[in-house]
Amino acid sequence: MRSTLRSAALIDMRSDWFVEERRRCRDTSAGRIRLQVKPRGVNRAATISEPRLLLMLGAPRSFTTVVSSMLGQHPEMYALPETNLFTAADLAEWWQRSTQVQFRMTDGLRRAVAQLYFGEQTDGTIQRAAGWLWRRSTCSTGFILELLADQVRPRILIEKSPSTVHSEHWLRRTFEMFPRAKFLHLVRHPRAYGESVLKQLSKWRWRRREPPSWLFNLATFENNPVAGRVLQTTAVDPQKSWYALNMKICRFLTSIPDEQKLQVRGEDILVDPDSVLPRICNWLGVRVDASAIDAMKHPECSHYASYGPPSAPMGNDHLFLEDPFLRPVRAASQSLDGPLSWHAHGKGFTFETKELASRLGYE
């Protein structure tokens, strides 16, 4: 078998009759490299196509979980839980990073692999999913996402991990790996965002427990939300993280072709889905009939809309897992004027925050 594989590789490199069709991916369980080659003359575009991807970009606490779950109920789309794949170049780095963060970073991807490859989410299939991922530790994270996309073809695969937006390098990685993907920038009013962050922070304080550093960083934001994992005694002002993360997304999107990007206010989707969802569907080139729109009003039907088995319970925002239904009341109207509840001296938003919020459609 090994000599056959070596011969195939030599033919591919030295002969005009063969071209490589897929990237090499080392199978760590077999300890060998697999090559798939096809004779010249076969239409490469017909045999290899970049998966149909919708990459949702949004700061945490910006409706990304409920909106991605809504879109994932469209008959031509499928939404993943949070995979955090773009935070690493390959799975080995992804596994390593998971040991350095204060949240269950691997749950979402393990649940997705269990569901898509083994048909259900149980402790047994989660264990099999972990093995499936370990055997592909040398594969790029983009290749793993491509494998998941293959499992749901011809549907559009939706990836929405909020961790991606914390680094401009991670944002660039999305486009470098998938230059034909579409990008949906989901935004939330900075006041509602700030109140949501502080609500989560208060729950930890009420329990008299130190909040995880990712949440404290959202509340204080010392300009390094990823590496700054040490709790600091800093004044709470969540508008800083809202501004910094949305600015990162806006700067990144300037390099994306216009037809591949769309910015939507999350509040509009929750309050008026009948108007906003068809606009998103038209942009994506999928059905806009009444049955498809109605299906998207039921995010609770997602495979990932409840807690997973004990070995991988998370993968999505815990508030959504507890109450995954579409509730427009979560999107109450807010103003950019007036004092902020987290400022003791009646201060309002900074000029920079108000300017960016206005650009994003808020008043």
pTM across the whole model: 0.85
Residue 110 has pLDDT above 80, yes or no: yes
Confidence of residue 345 (pLDDT cuts 50, 70, 90): confident
Residue 344 CA to residue 305 CA, distance in Å, equals 38
Chain CA centroid to CA 252, Å:
15
Mean pLDDT of the chain: 85
pLDDT in tens, 80-102: 999 999 999 999 999 999 999 98
pLDDT of residue 328: 87
pLDDT of residue 343: 87
Residue 212 has pLDDT above 90, yes or no: no
Mean pLDDT across the stretch 155-183? 97
3-class secondary-structure state, position 80: coil
pLDDT of residue 12: 38
CA distances from 163 to 243, 291, 314, 359 (A): 16, 33, 15, 23
Beta bridge partners of 159: 55
pLDDT of residue 332: 83
User: Bigger pLDDT: 48 or 87?
Assistant: 87
Give φ, ψ of 138 to 5 degrees.
-90, 0
Beta bridge partners of 19: 38
pLDDT of residue 211: 77
Confidence of residue 48 (pLDDT cuts 50, 70, 90): low
Residue 121 has pLDDT above 50, yes or no: yes
Residue 48, Cβ density class (10 Å: 0-12 exposed, 13-18 middle, ≥19 buried)? exposed
